[in-house]
């Protein structure tokens, strides 16, 4: 069964957009090896990321993300099985958002990790919305 984790975090003050791009490049290679797909949205030090793949591998990647000292305040938004991937073409899609776009995304996503229905394998509406947003606005479509 496929699995999805979506989270918010805040980058530490020394994290520049170039550092994020370097992380993306390394993550794409690692995710390709592990069969992980997803997208990362970044704005002014804030991150929204969706990870999809085999549950144990997604959890492994997420544990390393949580332990990464380059960001703090990692908050799980969605953590559940899914029936299919929505970002299957991207090992790590990436987009820099404007402040307005970030606030729009942030206002739509419930921070309560319990908001997803237990046992529901359909992608939550917010993840589908993120996919649509990413497809319309992405400049970095390299898988």
Query: Where do the structural domains in the chain lie, given as residue ranges?
Result: 2-137
Condensed to tens digits (0 to 9), the pLDDT of residues 73-120 reads 999 988 999 998 988 888 887 777 666 766 766 666 554 444 444 445
Is 90 exceeded by the pLDDT of residue 29? yes
Q: Which residue has the higher pLDDT, 68 or 18?
A: 68
Mean pLDDT, all residues of the chain: 77
Give me Rg for the CA atoms of the chain. 14
- pLDDT band, very low/low/confident/very high, at 30 (cuts 50, 70, 90): very high
CB 2 within 8 A of CB 82: yes
Q: Which residue has the higher pLDDT, 64 or 89?
A: 64
pLDDT of residue 23: 85
The C-alpha angle with vertex 105 and arms to 142 and 130, in degrees rounded to 5, equals: 40
Region 26-38 average pLDDT: 93
Q: Hey, what CATH topology would domain 2-137 get?
A: Alpha-Beta Plaits (3.30.70)
- pLDDT band, very low/low/confident/very high, at 142 (cuts 50, 70, 90): very low
């Amino acid at each position: 069964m496929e699995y999805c984790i979506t989270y918010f975090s805040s980058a530490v003050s020394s994290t520049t957009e170039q550092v994020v791009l370097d992380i993306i490049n390394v993550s794409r290679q690692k995710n390709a090896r592990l069969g992980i797909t997803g997208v990362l949205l970044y704005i002014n030090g804030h991150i929204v990321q969706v990870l999809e793949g085999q549950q144990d591998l997604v959890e492994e990647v997420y544990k390393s993300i949580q332990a990464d000292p380059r960001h703090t305040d990692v908050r799980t938004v969605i953590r559940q099985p899914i029936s299919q991937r929505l970002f299957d073409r991207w090992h790590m899609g990436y987009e820099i958002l404007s402040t307005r776009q970030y606030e729009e995304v942030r206002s739509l996503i419930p921070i309560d990790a319990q908001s997803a229905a237990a046992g529901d394998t359909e992608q939550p509406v917010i993840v589908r919305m993120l996919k649509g947003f990413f497809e319309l606005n992405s400049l970095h479509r390299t898988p």
